[in-house]
Amino acid sequence: MQRVIVIGAGLAGSEAALLLAEGGVPVVLVEQKPVRRSPAHKSDGLAELVCSNSLRSDNPENAIGLLHEELRRLGSAVLEEADRARVPAGDALAVDRVAFSEALTRRIAHHPNIEVRGEEATDLPGELCIVATGPLTGDALARSLAEAVGDSALAFYDAIAPIVAGDSIDQSVAFRQSRYGKGGGDDYLNLPLSREEYERFVDELLAGQKVEPHAFEEPRYFEGCLPIEVMAARGRDVLAFGPMKPVGLVDPRTNRRPHAVVQLRREDRAGTAWNLVGFQTRLTWPEQKRIFSECIPGLRAATFLRLGQVHRNTFLDAPRALAPDGSLRARPAVFCAGQITGVEGYVESAASGHIAARRVLARVRGEQFAPPPGTTALGALLRHVTGEAHPPGYEYQPTNVVFALFPPLEERHRKHERKARLLARARRDLAEWARVNSVPLAPEPPPRPARTPSPPPRTLPEQSDIGGQAAPGEAPR
């Protein structure tokens, strides 16, 4: 059978290599450790968890918990070893990171169909391969990838702007309008600021506490995605001429152009989540909550689903660079998996590796691969990578799996019923997909014991140095 090269033995590469090998495909797994390590990788083991030891909520009424469940049912090696290495952590799936990595390393090393090569890949191979080198892909391979897809389709930083829940925005302040009525006319929500409000906002931005970059994260930004506090430091009016420019907008309540605006763009078609356009920032999370709530009219009672961050992250503009089958449009033998495709998080990366391996397996066997439907957590993640989950004009940025990526439910449901309905639909559709495509699927897990509801968290979880979009009640990590 045709061999497959997998580059990178992190979460995505380990999952992909084992799935392919189990499918009878000879795999060459190229991993730069121990010869070379990224600045975040500390051990020589494969599938290293570089930061937190939590794979986040294991409750399937959260999108990430549902993703756990789907991967388990499909026989994911990463989930199997995570379950074996589990340590008590309430509702979360947390693991003993050493036991987890050792188990996967052993499993890979002993698999008769896998040959591990400890070397750095510096070029895209000319044969069937999966590139899973993660957010800190080395320069040489990144250059080779950029040559294949074009410089503009490979980013080296991600700049994440905050996202707020649609129903927490004060609609008596916000007005719907696109600049000069372009596009859908009312695609954007605008929060107007007077000169005094704007000046106060700039003062707070300049004085607010910022997260210091890691030593390996040179604070060198693309001009197109400068953090707002960096712009404010360049001059007091820079924001008013940049992301907060009011041109082409008239506040219907005053019939005048505001001094400045914060524009919010839909994150999902249903408008449950809205992105503060251009508001990427290194302000600490508590400072973002305080300053944005206090200084931006209309956000006083805002629920922040995600807060802003900027960090080193090599990722493809996947909707542009990848063909529908997940291979590079420019190089059909090269598949990509993991964080480099613009998914974010350990489990999302493993899921991406799982799907990439199924696709490559189908290619090797000369079969068609039908991806899981978008109503499942796996399919919703694919909807992000293909761009299908996003409204036109969405600027591709990495994301965790969240319910906002799923197609909305057909009928309206009360808020507290929605997650249960999304879960039921996902389970039904995954089972149907598995049946039609003859994919072995373990049975649904038994219902979880009812828990006494805990009071809603008063603050966001502790700030981590990497991004992640969290749905309500769903901690980033």
Ligand X SMILES: Cc1cc2nc3c(=O)[nH]c(=O)nc-3n(C[C@H](O)[C@H](O)[C@H](O)COP(=O)(O)OP(=O)(O)OC[C@H]3O[C@@H](n4cnc5c(N)ncnc54)[C@H](O)[C@@H]3O)c2cc1C
One character per residue 16-45, x = contact with ligand X (rule: CB under 6 A): --------------xxxx----x-xx----
In this chain, which of 45, 134, 258, 472 binds ligand X, going by CB under 6 A?
Answer: 134
In this chain, which of 25, 283, 466, 475 binds ligand X, going by CB under 6 A?
Answer: 466
Total residues contacting ligand X by CB under 6 A comes to 37
User: With CB under 6 A as the contact rule, which of the stretches 126-134, 263-271, 300-308, 412-420 interacts with ligand X?
Assistant: 126-134
Q: Does 75 sit near ligand X (CB under 6 A)? A: no
Measured CA to CA, the distance from residue 203 to residue 233 in angstroms comes to 10
Q: Does 73 sit near ligand X (CB under 6 A)? A: no
Measured CA to CA, the distance from residue 349 to residue 209 in angstroms comes to 31
Q: Does 464 sit near ligand X (CB under 6 A)? A: yes
Measured CA to CA, the distance from residue 189 to residue 192 in angstroms comes to 10
> Phi and psi dihedrals of 78, rounded to 5?
-65, -45
Q: Does 354 sit near ligand X (CB under 6 A)? A: no
Q: Does 79 sit near ligand X (CB under 6 A)? A: no
* Torsion angle (degrees, nearest 10) of CA 348, 104, 138, 359: -50
CB of 212 to ligand X, least distance (A): 14
Which runs of consecutive H residues, i.e. helices, occur in 150-295?
195-207, 228-234, 285-295
Q: Does 430 sit near ligand X (CB under 6 A)? A: no
In this chain, which of 45, 345, 407, 472 binds ligand X, going by CB under 6 A?
Answer: 345
Q: Does 12 sit near ligand X (CB under 6 A)? A: yes
* Residue number with CB closer to ligand X (9 or 19): 9
CB of 157 to ligand X, least distance (A): 11
Q: Does 9 sit near ligand X (CB under 6 A)? A: yes
Residue 170 Cα distances to 139, 186, 188, angstroms: 45, 16, 14
235 φψ region: left (φ > 0), alpha (ψ -120 to 50), beta (else):
left
Q: Does 51 sit near ligand X (CB under 6 A)? A: yes
Measured CA to CA, the distance from residue 265 to residue 472 in angstroms comes to 18
- What residue is closest to ligand X based on CB? 10
Residue 177 Cα distances to 183, 208, 239, 252, angstroms: 10, 30, 19, 10
Residue corresponding to tokens 């009878």: 24
One character per residue 173-192, x = contact with ligand X (rule: CB under 6 A): --------------------
In this chain, which of 349, 375, 397, 399 binds ligand X, going by CB under 6 A?
Answer: 349
* Residue number with CB closer to ligand X (127 or 432): 127
* Residue number with CB closer to ligand X (141 or 239): 141
CB of 131 to ligand X, least distance (A): 9
The DSSP result for 403-456, as a single string, is GGGSPPPSS---HHHHHHHHHHHHHHHHHHHHHHTT---PPPPPPPPP-PPPPP
Q: Does 11 sit near ligand X (CB under 6 A)? A: yes
404 close to 273: Cβ distance less than 8 angstroms: yes
Measured CA to CA, the distance from residue 27 to residue 454 in angstroms comes to 47
Q: Does 295 sit near ligand X (CB under 6 A)? A: no
N-terminal to C-terminal alpha carbon distance within the chain? 40
CA angle centred on 339, ends 373 and 158, rounded to 5°: 115
Residue corresponding to tokens 């802003």: 308
In this chain, which of 4, 13, 111, 287 binds ligand X, going by CB under 6 A?
Answer: 13
The DSSP result for 151-185, as a single string, is GGGEEEEEEE--EEEGGGS-TTT-EE--GGG-TTS
Assigned token pair, 139: 């320069």
The 3-state DSSP class for residue 367 equals: coil
* Residue number with CB closer to ligand X (60 or 338): 338
The 3-state DSSP class for residue 261 equals: strand
Assigned token pair, 55: 């794979």
User: With CB under 6 A as the contact rule, which of the stretches 10-18, 90-98, 230-238, 299-307 interacts with ligand X?
Assistant: 10-18
Q: Does 357 sit near ligand X (CB under 6 A)? A: no
Q: Does 463 sit near ligand X (CB under 6 A)? A: no
Beta-carbon contacts of 120 under 8 Å, excluding residues fewer than 6 positions away, are 32, 35, 36, 138, 140, 141
CB of 385 to ligand X, least distance (A): 13
CB of 94 to ligand X, least distance (A): 11
Surface-to-core class of residue 390, CB atoms within 10 Å of its CB (0-12 exposed, 13-18 middle, 19+ buried): buried
One character per residue 365-404, x = contact with ligand X (rule: CB under 6 A): ----------------------------------------
Q: Does 135 sit near ligand X (CB under 6 A)? A: yes
* Residue number with CB closer to ligand X (19 or 261): 19
* Residue number with CB closer to ligand X (193 or 381): 381
Q: Does 121 sit near ligand X (CB under 6 A)? A: yes
* Residue number with CB closer to ligand X (67 or 244): 67
CB of 254 to ligand X, least distance (A): 45
Where on the chain is the footprint of ligand X (CB under 6 A)? 7-13, 30-33, 38, 40-41, 50-52, 120-121, 132-138, 141, 338-340, 345-346, 349, 464-466, 477
